[in-house]
Amino acid sequence: FLRLIHGFSTGFKPTATAAYVADTVPAGKWGEAMGIHGLFFSTGMAIGPAIGSAITQYSSINVLFYTSSAFALLSILIIFNMKETLPAKQKFKFSLFKIKKGEWINKQALPVFWVTLFSYVSYGAIITIIPDWTTNIGFTNKGIFFMVFTVASLMMRFIAGKISDRRGRKPVLKFSLIILSIALIWLGVWQTVAGFLSGAVLYGLATGMLSPAISAWTIDLSDDDKRGLSVATMYIALEAGIGLGAFFSGWFVRDIIGRTPYVFYAIALVNTFAIVYLYIHKDYTEVEKSQKKLAFPLEKPI
């Protein structure tokens, strides 16, 4: 039951936060804003487990829950001082939980849905198989990959967000996904300490570029009044990708450590589906322009 309630929180909070950032930041700086948002999000995700482990080691699991609750209450206090961005705010009522047909996902965000789904399968597999693979490489600390990966990701998020604002979302997404595939193949081929750590750096750099660009692209494709639904659509794909990656990688490896490199190759292949999709997908504005040219091929300005 506790995990169920926590699941509601992790479902509501990231969606609302990303939409709020988009509402308060000018359109030309969405990538930079999402990079900063991701920077603090990843920092918290990195610091939290370290603090949690120390609290559990030197105190108890109950103290850990109390401390976590205290941080949650602090975040609520911050929210009280934030201004509402909706022009027409509705009062809360339980009927809002009733989802009608067409409200599950935003069709405008379907390109983001597919790219996110294919690219985050790798993350689900990584968090499942990397701990055992880490000890197989020769490390005693199973979290070393995530430490290196997080530092590399933090270094890249802010920069990548600004680049996507200037050069466009798709170029950054394509480059990050290519680096992601290289990192996964690298981890499978170079089964040494140096290969493992450099693979973690590459994977961190790739995800650091991918995350802010894909969040900003989600907002780009959405109407102003559909941003929350678009962000939710992106997170549905993200959670589905992580879940599928975790399930199938665990099912395939089954404690046979020698199968792990094949998982790296397989998820690299799945990631290429996202790359191919980006190359064949046309933005709505591009399609609209081409249709107008076909409809009025001989039209000239008067």
> What are the helix (H) ranges across the chain?
2-24, 30-58, 61-80, 110-137, 144-167, 169-189, 193-220, 227-253, 260-280, 284-295
End-to-end CA distance of the chain: 69
Q: What is the pLDDT of residue 270?
A: 96
Question: Would you give the distance in Å from CA 166 to the centre of its chain?
Answer: 21
pLDDT bucket at 85, cuts 50 / 70 / 90: low
Q: What is the pLDDT of residue 81?
A: 77
pLDDT bucket at 116, cuts 50 / 70 / 90: very high
Q: What is the pLDDT of residue 289?
A: 39
The verdict on residue 289 lying in a domain is no
Q: What is the pLDDT of residue 161?
A: 80
Give the pLDDT confidence of 16-67 residue by residue, as tens digits: 776 777 777 776 776 677 777 777 776 776 677 667 777 887 888 888 888 9
Q: What is the pLDDT of residue 295?
A: 43
Q: Could you give the CA distance from residue 111 to residue 100 in angstroms, rounded to a whole number?
A: 22
The verdict on residue 81 lying in a domain is yes
Q: What is the pLDDT of residue 75?
A: 82
Q: What is the pLDDT of residue 95?
A: 58
Highest mean pLDDT among 127-131, 157-161, 176-180: 176-180
The verdict on residue 49 lying in a domain is yes
Residue 188 confidence (pLDDT) above 70: yes
Give the pLDDT confidence of 133-150 residue by residue, as tens digits: 998 999 887 778 888 888
The verdict on residue 293 lying in a domain is no
The verdict on residue 51 lying in a domain is yes
Q: Which of 90-94, 200-204, 230-234, 292-296 has the lowest mean pLDDT?
A: 292-296
Q: What is the pLDDT of residue 195?
A: 94
- The residue assigned the tokens 């968090």 is 127
The verdict on residue 299 lying in a domain is no
Range of the domain at 140: 2-89+105-281
Q: What angle do CA 249, 204, 182 make, to 5 degrees?
A: 65
The verdict on residue 291 lying in a domain is no
Task: Give the chain's domain count.
Answer: 1
The verdict on residue 188 lying in a domain is yes
DSSP secondary structure letter of residue 255: T
CATH of the domain at 179: 1.20.1250.20
Give the pLDDT confidence of 236-294 residue by residue, as tens digits: 898 899 999 999 999 999 889 999 999 999 999 999 999 999 998 776 444 433 434 44
Q: What angle do CA 104, 227, 158 make, to 5 degrees?
A: 120
